[in-house]
Amino acid sequence: MTEQTRIMDWDSISKALASVDVVAEMERAFVAYSADKCVIPPVGELNFTEPRGDVHIKYGYVRDEEFYVVKIASGFYDNPSLGLASSNGLMLLFRQRTGELAAVLLDEGRLTDIRTAAAGAVAARHLAPSEVTRIGILGTGTQARLQLEYLRGVVDCERALVWGRNPERSEQFAREMSDGDFQVEVAAASSDVAAMCNLIVTTTPAESPLLDRAAVRPGTHITAVGSDSPAKQELDAAILGVSELVVADSISQCRERGEISHALRAGVIQEADLVELGALIAGQAPGRQNDQQITVADLTGVAVQDVQIASAVFV
């Protein structure tokens, strides 16, 4: 490479992030994606059995932009027993006109967490009811924390309710996420979150529904983030069936994975009824019409988000 490749560790990435409006970048990403301006090939995959690990290679670009991006992300499930994070990864930024490697972003998977959380904020900005009474969070992990942080930037609401399978972790989450301006409490059951919140984000790796159709009140928006593989499911498919609006980050991807895939297979929704998030942002599809509608956004994660956040960090 004639131009120097920039190697960025997490310190320099997080400094660069400070001047990036990640939520706005994700809006741009989804609009470009839904306008068919992106080239995003199928995900590459490597699997290991002993110890169990999955590696995903996501790559692509937005046409006529400066860069293409290759992301390698892994989950190795025995890592915590070694004192290591289970997820890991990096992003590579190349110039579309020459193939030169512009940057290696040694983000250890954190940019993926952040772009996923920012997408939740995008969904809330466009789909939350006009008055959010309380934010509900299912799950207590990194993604649950980030979702709440990013929601606070786009939603005018000072109360949240969290539920997780492990009560101690839920308590710890509530304690750490509360501050003078913001109050987080712990729910005894996931149905309590549905009963008391009208903006709900689900962030768990559950493989059977955590929320029933009956528990969800009119006017609620739910963003489902946890289900990123065919086996995972956080929402009763009937919730999508009664929703006035079901939004996918990528319709083609949601056919195969996520809450929408379950609801399509159950026959409670039709693909023709789906709206893509980028079309909604661009005003090409109607959004929420009133505060009685139930809406669902299913976010399975699209490589264009990686392209966008990596480019924004570098520039």
Q: What is the DSSP letter of 235?
A: B
Distance CA 227, CA 234 (A): 7
Instruction: Give min distance, CB of 303 to a copy of itself, in A.
Output: 11
Encoded tokens for 41: 């090939």
Cβ proximity to a copy of itself, 1 vs 188, nearer residue: 1
- The footprint of a copy of itself (CB under 8 A) covers 1-2, 5, 7, 39, 41, 44-46, 48, 51, 53, 55, 57, 59-61, 68, 70, 72, 74-76, 79, 82-84, 88, 90, 92, 94, 96-101, 104, 106, 108
Cβ proximity to a copy of itself, 64 vs 168, nearer residue: 64
Cβ proximity to a copy of itself, 99 vs 283, nearer residue: 99
Instruction: Give min distance, CB of 72 to a copy of itself, in A.
Output: 6
Cβ proximity to a copy of itself, 60 vs 219, nearer residue: 60
Q: Check if the beta carbon of residue 104 is closer than 8 Å to that of residue 92.
A: yes
Instruction: Give min distance, CB of 193 to a copy of itself, in A.
Output: 33
Radius of gyration of the chain (CA): 19
Instruction: Give min distance, CB of 99 to a copy of itself, in A.
Output: 3
Instruction: Give min distance, CB of 250 to a copy of itself, in A.
Output: 18
Maximum pairwise Cα distance, the chain: 61
3-class SS of residue 248: strand
| Residue 156 exposed, middle or buried by CB count within 10 Å (0-12, 13-18, 19+) | exposed
Instruction: Give min distance, CB of 277 to a copy of itself, in A.
Output: 24
Cβ proximity to a copy of itself, 109 vs 258, nearer residue: 109
Cβ proximity to a copy of itself, 32 vs 148, nearer residue: 32
| Residue 86 exposed, middle or buried by CB count within 10 Å (0-12, 13-18, 19+) | middle
The residues that bridge with 74 in the sheet, in sequence order, are: 55, 88
Q: Check if the beta carbon of residue 119 is closer than 8 Å to that of residue 26.
A: yes
